[in-house]
Chains A and B, each alone.
Chain A
Amino acid sequence: MHGRPRRPDKPEDAAAADAKAAKLRDLQTQVLRNHHSRTYSKEALGLSFKLLELNPEAYTAWNYRKLAFQHNLGELSELEAIKSSIDDELRVVELALRQNPKSYGAWYHRKWLLNQKLAPVDFKREFGLLDKLLKVDARNFHGWNYRRFLAKFMGVPEEEELKYTKDKISDNFSNYSAWHNRSILLSNLLTQQRKGFESKQKIFSEEFELVTQALFTDPSDQSGWFYHLWLLAQTSSPENPQLIASWPSNGAKLSLSSVREANDKQNTPSSFSSICCYSLKEGILPIVLFFNEPVKGLTPSSVSLNSDLVVGKNIQWRPLSVTDSGHSYCWVTYLEVSNLEYCSSQQFSVEASIPNTDDIVSRSGSSYNCPVHFTFTFEPNNIDSITEDTDLIHDPISWDCSEPLPSHVKPSCIHSDQLKITNALIQEESKWHLERLSDELDLFRELPDDNSKFAKLTLARLLLACAAIKSRGSSLIERRGYCEEALGLFNDLIYLDPSHKRYYEDERSLVLMDQLTCNMESFMKYCSVQVLPNLAPLNHVQLCRLSLTCIGFVERLLWVQMLDLSHNNLRSIEGLEALQHLVCLNVSNNQISSFTALKPLTEILSLKVLDLSFNEIGTHPINTTRYICPTPFSHKVEACEAFEECQKKNINVEEFWDAILFFKHVNLVQLGFEGNAIANKENFRTLVVTLNPSIKWLDGACVH
């Protein structure tokens, strides 16, 4: 099927082809007949040999030969006879591989024979065959798989196989198969801490040297770059997971209310930031923990919460993530505050600490070993659980991102020292990381071909790795410098390699968000307190018209209640699930194309107002988040009651399943969706109102 030229049949060829076809048909028919009649004579076996030589993919013929081999084995008692019978099979495989070196059936026949362990294996012959095949095609992955099989079969030490990969790489740097095998062997040897492989730092320094040599030889070859990327990933992230942010933050003093204060002269102590906490409606106060990588295992015993408030035994930590996995960057628990004997002068303090624990582990299995401890104080104020949700928003909220933000009002609850909890955690290892990365940076700045896309990209990745390590220190100025340079590189890359434009745009968005939010001075330009009629003041962040395509660094936004992301190019809002205080979100004029892409919002209990206007919902038949979040197709959600409810109202479930799953899980009061293809679809409004009964304003008009 591969590599045959397209050409019209010539008459003389046709005759030859007919003859060849006739022979093949004949062989196929006879072999199948012998298979069905269980005829295992020498002659019959000879026919199958001929067939497999001509067409090694005829799998039933391989099965037939295995049956025949087993059948005939019963009549053999001498080792020599068995050996010669095995030899016959090995020869068939060799001839078949000559016809097609990538024949699955042929390779497996050989493994099957060896696995029978009927006679000692002639390893010289096996490795000889492999050498021959890998000489013809050094990338034949069947060959490499067979080599790994043989090495394991005869117990070749991994150190020796590692040497073999180096030989192959020296033959030709552009051998991705060899680099791949090297990465597998090396990580095994490091995990097992084998002799000579105790120091990851030493080994990785050597590997950096090896791969750099390859990259400088031919900067346009991909093989080494992927290996370099792996080394870089190993060098830039801390070995163990770390807590990098929380809400409330350490030392926070909060005055909490659940509704707008009747008069604004509440006499709260001035050191308290007052915040209207919408989740208080449900009688709960979220506590959010944010880690530098996804972790699992947060329980009342791995995270201790002490408070003069009676913290119930029923504290449950919940991972906030769109995928249904045990691991998450972000975890939340809800403190029950509904039954507080509330009096305005009472303060409660909460103390949270995570000790060294093997319960909290990252995906790679390393456990939490950076003990943290933080406290915050809150004062309940005006907690009233009677008011209905809909009463909160009397008039539809309108957004105007062209209006400049008031510069004098500073949002409450922002703490410039949010990162303080991790400052103490800079470890010995990051010193080595930084040194190693700096060496690489110097090297790549000198790469002669400065139009190599891989060189630029690697440089950008090195810079970001350095920036990430710096965030664990306090060198924010340096961090900004790294970001600045990386932004420039991504801009270059968009022109240099337009096919991957949107990859670079996603990367650029993350760097941009880092840059905007990494220090208070720059971040404050985007923050304000929004005072809306009949509504408590909301901590507001406005990141409009920045060409953002995705969201990052949400750990710096945990306190945000009103977020304006309109007029960007967002196609994903993953990460926003961490914003457990979000009440109003504007993502209008972006590129969101499905309701499954909005799944993060279903994790936010406080969300009331959502503007989705002028996106691409309903435009694209291919939904790229269909399998990212739980759906009936991924067997994480059964076709649910909501589906039936919709069917009763003649809503087409096959068309609207993602909208149904979304609106079933949110509790919006105001929704804008004009300017999406779905807005014109019949029944869509019915769907929204049916599944989201709290809705009051739809596209600016009152529903009731």
Chain B
Amino acid sequence: MGCLRFLLLLMQKKDSFESLVMEHIRLNGAYWGLTTLDLLHKLDAVDADEVIQWIMSCYHPESGGFGGNVGHDPHVLYTLSAVQVLCLFDRLDVLDVDKVADYVSGLQNEDGSFSGDIWGEVDTRFSYIVICTLALLHHLHKINVQKAVDYIVSCKNLDGGFGAMPGGESHAGQIFCCVGALAITGSLHHIDRDLLGWWLCERQCKEGGLNGRPEKLADVCYSWWVLSSLIMIDRVHWIDKDKLAKFILNCQDKENGGISDRPDNAVDIYHTYFGVAGLSLMEYPGVKPMDPAYALPLDVVNRIFLRKRD
């Protein structure tokens, strides 16, 4: 697969306009790139110490959160990516776990929702992020889980999906966040699996790819959002996996590597990750299986939750 070449190239090419526009989310980029490498059994191609050192340079010791890059403000979006990358390398020991757990849990609001940072934007994405971060750190008890779950349930729509806030329209990315948060907290019984499963499997378009909302174009990134949600609710058999795999492979840049949103568009690391992750969820040969809730390779998640802890 050409992804590897593309990823390694990307790590060096820091000065193009495209990568500069993404500079503030470089930590997300690191998570996308490194997880892709791990899924392709190539994580040892990078220098773990160097990566970890850079990750920690995005850390804000006074708040306990991570910024998207060195010098950028802390936010839960990047804090989760940092924790996930450290999980990949099994190096959570470099973290002040309590401090980080305090940072994300401190963002829970009275109604159970979560803000993304001190400025108070509320979104179910942040509910997932905080819950996932705390679970990976074994600190889920630091928040009021019941209230967090109730808030997510209040964002459930009559089509079975979830929006960013109560009343918000269902959207596959948002659905992943809500289903993921409910999965991690053992609360999937709040979901009407047949209703949501039907809505999600109808995201498959004629050409095989998945879209994020009704009457929208297919896009590789939804391979992840839709597939992982369908797996968590045990309805993934309702889509045609072969057609989807073909669509993803069709979005590969066969000359330079990488995967784009749609066939023949420019590749980027975000879609490369989501394409490979989608293939992983469909048990594509040569790609490590992934956990649909924690968005990490299965072996990493199994290690975290099944390994004996003191």
Q: Which of B75, B158, B268, B271 has the most CB of A within 10 A?
A: B158
Shortest beta-carbon distance from A399 to chain B in Å? 27
Contact-residue size bin, chain A (C-beta under 8 Å from the other chain): 35 or more
Q: Which of A17, A57, A145 contacts B17 (CB 8 A)?
A: A17
Q: Which of A638-675 contact B (CB under 8 A)?
A: 639, 643-644, 647, 653-654, 657
A104 at the interface (CB under 8 A from B): yes
Q: Which residues of A contact B16 (CB under 8 A)?
A: 17, 21
Residues 232-262 of chain B, each 1 if its beta carbon lies under 8 Å from chain A, else 0 = 1110111110010000000001000000111
Q: Are B215 and A221 in contact (CB under 8 A)?
A: yes
Interface of A (DSSP majority class)? helix
The interface stretch among A271-279, A330-338, A617-625 is: A617-625
| B234:A622 contact, CB within 8 angstroms | no
Residues of B within 8 A of A633 (CB): 183-184, 291, 293-294, 301, 305
Mask, A172-190, CB within 8 Å of B = 1, is 0010110011011001000
Please determine whether B289 and A1 come into contact, CB atoms closer than 8 angstroms.
no
Chain B residues with CB below 8 A from A500, complex form: 201-202, 204, 238-240
Contact with A along B82-118 (1 / 0, CB 8 A): 0000000000000000000000000000000000010
Is the C-beta of B150 less than 8 angstroms from some C-beta in chain A? no
Answer whether A6 and B73 are a contact pair too, CB < 8 Å, given A144-B169, A187-B158, A654-B306: no
Question: A59 contacts which of B68, B123, B135, B290 (Cβ < 8 Å)?
Answer: B68
Q: How far is the CB of B69 from chain A (nearest CB, A)?
A: 9
Given contacts A6-B264, A6-B267, A657-B302, contact A145 B168 (CB under 8 A): yes
- Chain B residues lying within 8 Å of A1, measured Cβ to Cβ, are 22, 261, 268, 270-271
Question: Between A and B, how many residue pairs show CB distances below 8 Å?
Answer: 218
Residue numbers in B under 8 Å from A622 (CB-CB): 231, 236, 281-283, 289-290, 292, 298
**Chain A residues, CB < 8 A from B219:** 2
| A628 and B214 form a contact (CB under 8 A) | no
Q: In the complex, are the beta carbons of B265 and A5 less than 8 A apart? A: yes
CB atoms of B202 and A222 under 8 A apart:
yes
Q: CA–CA, A170 to B260, complex, Å?
A: 36
> Is B44 positioned at the interface, with any CB of A under 8 Å from its CB?
no
Is B303 an interface residue, CB under 8 A from the partner?
yes
Cβ of B71 within 8 Å of any chain A Cβ, yes or no, is yes
Q: Do the beta carbons of B169 and A180 come within 8 Å of each other?
A: yes
**Which B-chain residue is minimally distant from A327 (CB atoms)?**
B189
Is residue A25 within 8 Å, beta carbon to beta carbon, of the partner chain? yes
A164 within 8 Å of B (CB atoms): no
How far is B171's CA from A290's CA once the two chains are assembled, in angstroms? 35
B81 at the interface (CB under 8 A from A): no
Query: How far, in whole Å, are A226 and B305 apart by their CA atoms in the complex?
Result: 39
Closest to A6 in B: B266
With a cutoff of 8 Å between Cβ atoms, the chain A residues found around residue B306 in the complex are 632, 639, 643, 653-654, 657
Closest residue on chain A to residue B16 by CB atoms: A21
Given contacts A21-B16, A499-B240, contact A59 B157 (CB under 8 A): no
Given contacts A180-B157, A187-B158, A222-B202, whether A621 and B298 have CB atoms under 8 Å apart is: yes
A690 lies within 8 A of chain B by Cβ: no
Evaluate contact between A323 and B289: CB separation under 8 angstroms: no
- B119's partner among A5, A66, A635 (CB-CB below 8 A) is A66
Q: How far is the CB of B182 from chain A (nearest CB, A)?
A: 8
Q: Is the CB of B214 within 8 A of A141?
A: no
Cross-chain contact A503 with B189 (CB below 8 angstroms) = no
- Residues of B near A223 (CB, < 8 A) are 214-215
The 8 Å CB contact of B185, one of A28, A58, A139, A635, is A635
* Chain A residues near B291 (CB-CB < 8 A): 626, 633
B residues 148-179 with Cβ under 8 Å of A?
Answer: 157-159, 163-165, 167-171
Residue of A nearest to B15 (CB): A21
Give the CA-CA distance A28 to B19 in the complex, in Å.
Answer: 13
Indicate if the CB atoms of B183 and A325 lie closer than 8 Å: no
Verify A620–B185 contact, CB threshold 8 A.
no
Q: Which residues of A contact B232 (CB under 8 A)?
A: 626-627
Q: Check A639–B305 contact: CB distance below 8 A.
A: yes
Q: Is the CB of A630 closer than 8 A to any CB of chain B?
A: yes
The answer to whether the Cβ of A416 comes within 8 Å of any Cβ in the partner chain is no
Identity of the chain A residue whose Cβ is nearest the Cβ of B118 in the assembled complex: A63
When chains A and B are docked, how far (Å) is the Cα of A643 from the Cα of B305? 12
Instruction: With CB as the reference atom, state the residue of chain A lying closest to B122.
Output: A108
**Given known contacts A221-B215, A634-B184, A653-B306, is B119 in contact with A624 (CB within 8 Å)?**
no
CB pair A63 B73 closer than 8 Å:
yes
CB-defined contacts of B17 to chain A, threshold 8 Å: 17, 20-21, 24
Please give, as numbers and ranges, the residues of chain A lying within 8 Å of B188 by CB-CB distance.
Answer: 323, 627-628, 634
Question: Is B157 touching A184 in the complex (CB atoms < 8 A)?
Answer: yes
> Are A176's CB and B189's CB within 8 A?
no
| Min CB–CB distance A570 → chain B (angstroms) | 12
B72–A502 contact, CB under 8 A?
no
A59 contacts which chain B residues (CB < 8 A)?
24, 68, 72-73, 75
Alpha-carbon distance between A622 and B238 when the two chains are bound, in angstroms = 15
Residues of B contacting A636 in the complex (Cβ-Cβ under 8 angstroms): 186
Verify if A156 is at the interface (C-beta below 8 Å from B): no
User: Is residue A3 contacting chain B, with contact meaning CB distance below 8 A?
Assistant: yes
B199 near A32: Cβ-Cβ < 8 Å: no
> Do the beta carbons of B21 and A55 come within 8 Å of each other?
yes
Give the chain B neighbours of A36 by CB distance below 8 A. 71
Interface of chain A residues 178 through 233 with chain B (CB within 8 A): 180-181, 183-184, 187, 221-223, 226, 229-230, 233
Task: Output the least CB separation between A634 and chain B (Å).
Answer: 4
A295-352 CB contacts (< 8 Å) to partner B: 321, 323-325, 327
Q: Nearest Cβ distance between residue B188 and chain A, in whole angstroms? A: 6
Q: Which A residues are in CB contact (< 8 Å) with B234?
A: 572, 624-625, 628
- If A622-B231, A627-B183 touch, whether A230 touches B159 (CB-CB below 8 Å) is yes
Complex CA–CA separation, A500 to B121 (angstroms): 38
Smallest CB separation, A175 vs chain B (Å): 9
Q: Does A488 contact B (CB under 8 A)?
A: no
Given the known inter-chain contacts A502-B237, A620-B283, please indicate yes or no for A654 contacting B299, CB distance below 8 A.
yes
If A4-B265, A148-B167, A634-B183 touch, whether A104 touches B15 (CB-CB below 8 Å) is no
Q: Whole-angstrom distance between the alpha carbons of A636 and B72 in the complex?
A: 37
Residues of A with C-beta under 8 A to B294: 633
Quick one: which of B117, B135, B204, B268 contacts A635, CB cutoff 8 A? Answer: B135
Q: Is B140 located at the chain interface by the 8 A CB criterion?
A: yes
Query: Smallest CB-CB separation from B123: which chain A residue?
Result: A104
Contact with A along B181-196 (1 / 0, CB 8 A): 0011111111000010
Q: Which residues of B contact A229 (CB under 8 A)?
A: 159
| Residues of B close to A253: CB separation below 8 A | none
Q: Which residues does chain A contribute within 8 Å of B271, judged by CB atoms?
A: 1
Question: Across the interface, do B159 and A139 meet the contact criterion of CB distance under 8 Å?
Answer: no
Bound form: Cα–Cα A108–B121 in Å: 7
Contact B260 A499, beta carbon cutoff 8 Å: no
A499 touching B239, Cβ below 8 Å: yes
B65 contact set on A, CB distance < 8 A: none
Q: Tell me the complex Cα distance, A183–B21, Å.
A: 38
**Can you list 13 A-B contacts with CB-CB less than 8 angstroms, sorted by A residue number?**
A36-B71, A60-B67, A112-B121, A176-B214, A180-B157, A183-B159, A321-B189, A323-B189, A624-B231, A627-B183, A635-B135, A653-B306, A654-B303
* B interface residue numbers (CB < 8 A to A): 15-17, 20-25, 67-68, 71-73, 75, 117, 119-121, 123, 135, 140, 157-159, 163-165, 167-171, 183-190, 195, 197-199, 201-202, 204, 208, 213-216, 219, 231-234, 236-240, 243, 253, 260-262, 264-268, 270-271, 281-283, 289-294, 298-299, 301-303, 305-309
Interface residues in chain A, defined as those with a beta carbon under 8 Å from any beta carbon in chain B: 1-7, 17, 20-21, 24-25, 28, 32, 36, 55, 57-60, 63, 66, 104, 108, 111-112, 139, 141, 144-145, 148, 174, 176-177, 180-181, 183-184, 187, 221-223, 226, 229-230, 233, 321, 323-325, 327, 498-503, 506, 571-572, 620-622, 624-628, 630, 632-636, 639, 643-644, 647, 653-654, 657
15 more A-B residue pairs beyond the given contacts A145-B164, A145-B165, with a C-beta to C-beta distance below 8 A: A5-B266, A6-B266, A28-B20, A63-B117, A174-B215, A180-B170, A183-B157, A221-B215, A499-B208, A571-B237, A622-B281, A633-B291, A633-B305, A653-B306, A654-B303
